[in-house]
A and B are shown apart, each in its own frame.
Chain A
Amino acid sequence: MNGNNHSLVQVPPGVQCFVGQEARVRRAIEEKVVGVFEGWDYEEIIPPLFDYADVFAGGDLAPRTYSFPGRDGSLLALRPDFTSLLAKIAAGRLSARPLPLRLYYSGEVLRYEPPRAGRRSELYQMGLEHLGGPRVASDCEVLAVAAECLEGLGVTDWVLALGHVGAFAGMLPEAPLDPLHLQKLRDRVESKDPEGVAEAARAAGLDARVSEGLVRLTRLAGTPAVLEEAEAALQEFPRARAAVAELRAVMDALAAAGLGARLAVDLGEVRGLDYYTGLVFRAYAPGLGFEVGGGGRYDTLLARFGRPMPAVGFMLGLDRLALLLERQGLAAPPPLPAAEVVEPGASAAALGRARTLRGQGRRVRFGGTEGR
């Protein structure tokens, strides 16, 4: 099947190719977003495309990582995300730098993905990490940067849905649950399925009080007013309440900065529980069925690389942003002015004339297209 000619025509599933105007749209989005990152004094990192597979082995992306043996027999992997790479660089090469570190990236990541809604093997991500800063203040900063990116791109009616993994984790008993039961429980909370949560809690042997609390999480989503309801509902769970209080501090600060109308609460957001340790958030906008980006706090990752420190970050998907802007009918970059045709002809002076025009900043097409 994978004969010679076949592979020279067809494309492997999950990859993308952009031509002309499509590429210009993506460049324009990237420039805008990177401009916001730099405006908040984040410094660019261009990390390697591949590294030792161990670097990426910590998270839930490990099973979806393309890995291959290197010449010396070590196992290498194409980067499935940027955060682990940035953490490694921050803990290693940048270890002498004073904290906090503000770093950003923009580039492709590669993952093995079965083709599904909005998921491709090759994704273009733009994101940043705020490393070693104070908890609430850096959470707020990162959210403000995310908000400015969406504002700057002209996205309409966007929403940042904020949660805190401590609301879920803080209700569970101290003794760790069986991983399969925990996974089922998270999956049902994430789906906002109250009956499913109750059933999973029963299967995990949790008592009625915890089960009720977890079922409530499926409904604790909506306007910031939900936080008051959450504080009352989670009264019996001090750790969960502390998490909600921390989330409230972040939301209050953002509201005071004029972002109140853009915020939503989602305490059922528990997808990245292995990785995130505090605030989690996702950005949504009408017109796109899935989030355009998201992030959160991950205070334990840096310890893997030998430099424990708190950290928070987020990323926006360029592919999804481009689709969203197209669906919302937002202005693509203006077309370039028409190029002046300089015919090479027989005259030796033609190239010189083209160079002169270029020197004046004009667009030149050296030799017209036949048949046009």
Chain B
Amino acid sequence: MSLTLALSKGRLLPGAQALFRQAGLAFPQDEGRRLIVPTDGLRFLFVKDTDVPTYVEYGVADCGVAGKDVLLESGSDVYEPLDLGFGRCRMVVAGLPGGLDYGRSSSLRVASKYPRLAAAHFQARGVSAEVVRLAGSVELAPVLGLADCIVDLVETGRTLEENGLAVIEEVAACSARLVVNPASYHARRAEVAALLQRLGEARA
């Protein structure tokens, strides 16, 4: 049986497709609504981006392509042996210009699609923060006074700018990662090692 690889049809799909082609690995053509697509080499599983670490952690998929942002938020027990080099962006704290002094605010309200990550970031700085979980249009929160700042993924920074927000600090640099289930890594090591090598060479 071939290895199963989970990935999403979102932001990272074009980069993944280009890299897999570069590595000489089969990659599904436009498959419409099919969610499981077998190819010559790998069996592809198309899932929601935030679910990729879950499929891999439970071993339903042997490996997957996931953004570092998603991995930071999920906290799943998966291996991340390869930075695939595409989908680069930054996880930042952003707010209205004029800045935000963590030292002076006794309590901070933070809006984010990444509540775990946001909470951990401020906790590590000793700032007591109330995290409001939003599913989208996070940039609105500081503008409308729902939150003092946001923690969000920024690619070009244009969305922030258009909404009158500025980056306060960078939390992490993010890019697409190849993630591997620990049991698959060891119990199917020949196939996993071959995949890692081919993708690693194609990336370089």
Contact = CB atoms under 8 A, between A and B. Distances in A.
Interface in B48-92: 56-60, 76-81, 83
Contacts of B134: none
27 contacts: A118-B58, A158-B187, A159-B186, A161-B186, A192-B180, A192-B185, A193-B79, A193-B81, A194-B83, A218-B81, A219-B81, A222-B189, A222-B193, A223-B189, A264-B186, A264-B189, A282-B182, A284-B183, A284-B186, A285-B183, A285-B187, A289-B56, A289-B59, A289-B60, A289-B181, A289-B182, A290-B182
Given A161-B186, A285-B187, A192 B80 contact: yes
Interface residues of B, number: 25
Given A284-B187, A285-B187, A290-B182, A193 B59 contact: no
A191 B79 contact: yes
A221 interface: yes
Given A159-B187, A192-B185, 18 more contacts: A117-B76, A118-B58, A159-B189, A191-B78, A191-B80, A193-B80, A194-B81, A221-B185, A266-B186, A282-B182, A286-B184, A286-B188, A289-B56, A289-B59, A289-B60, A289-B183, A290-B182, A290-B183
A81 interface: no
Contacts of B181: 289
A342 B183 CA distance: 51
A30 interface: no
Contacts of A274: none
Contacts of A158: 187
> Shortest 7 CB-CB distances between A and B: which pairs?
A289-B59, A193-B80, A284-B183, A192-B79, A192-B81, A286-B187, A284-B186
A264 B60 CA distance: 22
Interface string A273-298: 00000000010111111110000000
Interface of B: 56-60, 76-81, 83, 124, 177, 180-189, 193
B80 A196 contact: yes
A284 B182 contact: yes
Interface residues of A, number: 30
B58 A291 contact: no
Interface string A185-206: 0000001111110000000000
Nearest to A290: B183
Given A223-B189, A264-B189, A291 B183 contact: yes
Contacts of A286: 183-184, 187-188
A22 interface: no
Contacts of A194: 81, 83
